[in-house]
Structure formats: structure tokens, C-alpha cells
Amino acid sequence: MTRKSFSRALWAALFAAALTGPAVADIKDYAFELVQREAKVGEAVLSVRLVDRRTGKPVTDAVIFAKRIDMAPDSMEEMVSKIEQVPSTEPGVYRFKAKLSMAGGWRLSLGAKVQGETGTVENKLVFQAVK
């Protein structure tokens, strides 16, 4: 094999390896999902699951850095409540404690970093507070 032929073969092999390498996830491949779509008015614990949409598997060890809860679905975005992350024993499930002051539509907004990925997972989840 000549040096030129070897060089072409090497480049072709490297190109083929790049095309068949491991798939790189996009931050849009991750999403939060509500575990329950309803919560009782008063002190409530809300559970959400972070999943990899490509596999359906839960994502553990994400870092939740942004959280907000408000009544935007009922046109009362200024009606907010304090929200606090609490421990969870289920892999990929993240729990939050909040005081839901009245019945109606609530929106839980979350921002998180997934280990090994660039970008931020951001979701706005709507649920109902019931008496």
C-alpha cells in the first residue's frame, strides 16, 4: 500500500468512526413529568420525574437550580408560593414542598442541569390544587 493510499484509508476509517460513534444527547432529550396531576390545598409535596425521552429511563443526580410555583394557569401569575426541594428515595424523582393557598391551576417551573450535558432542562408543569 502506498503512503497516499494509506492516508486515504486512514481518513476514511476516522470519518466512518466519527459517524458510528456514540450518540450525543441534546438537552431537549430530557423532560420533567408530573407524578400526580392534582395536589391538596395547603401543605403539599409535589413529585416530578426527570426522564430521558430517548430511553424513557429516569435521570438521577440532576441539579435543580431554579424552581418557582405560581397560579399562572388561572391568570394569577403574581400569586406565588414558597417552594423547597425535599429528599426523595425514588431514582429520578424530585420532590418539592409548597403551600398551595387556594384551589385552582398552578404552574411549577423548573430548571436543572443534567450531569455530563451542556445546557439547561427547563419545563413548566401545570397541575390542579383541589380541596
State mean pLDDT over 95-102: 98
Decide if 105 is inside a domain.
yes
Q: Which of 58, 40, 128 is nearest to 48 (CA)?
A: 58
Decide if 34 is inside a domain.
yes
Structural domain boundaries enclosing 94: 27-129
Decide if 12 is inside a domain.
no
- In this predicted structure, the answer to whether residue 6 has a pLDDT above a threshold of 60 is no
State mean pLDDT over 90-111: 98
Instruction: Place 55 in a pLDDT band, splitting at 50, 70 and 90.
Output: very high
Decide if 2 is inside a domain.
no
Instruction: Place 24 in a pLDDT band, splitting at 50, 70 and 90.
Output: low
pLDDT digits (tens, 9 = 90+) for 68-82: 999 999 999 999 999
Q: What is the CATH number of the domain that holds 89?
A: 2.60.40.10
pLDDT digits (tens, 9 = 90+) for 37-50: 999 999 999 999 99
Q: Which of 29, 37, 40, 59 is nearest to 98 (CA)?
A: 40
Decide if 92 is inside a domain.
yes
Decide if 18 is inside a domain.
no
Decide if 17 is inside a domain.
no
Residue with cell 428515595: 89
Decide if 120 is inside a domain.
yes
How many distinct structural domains can be found in the chain?
1
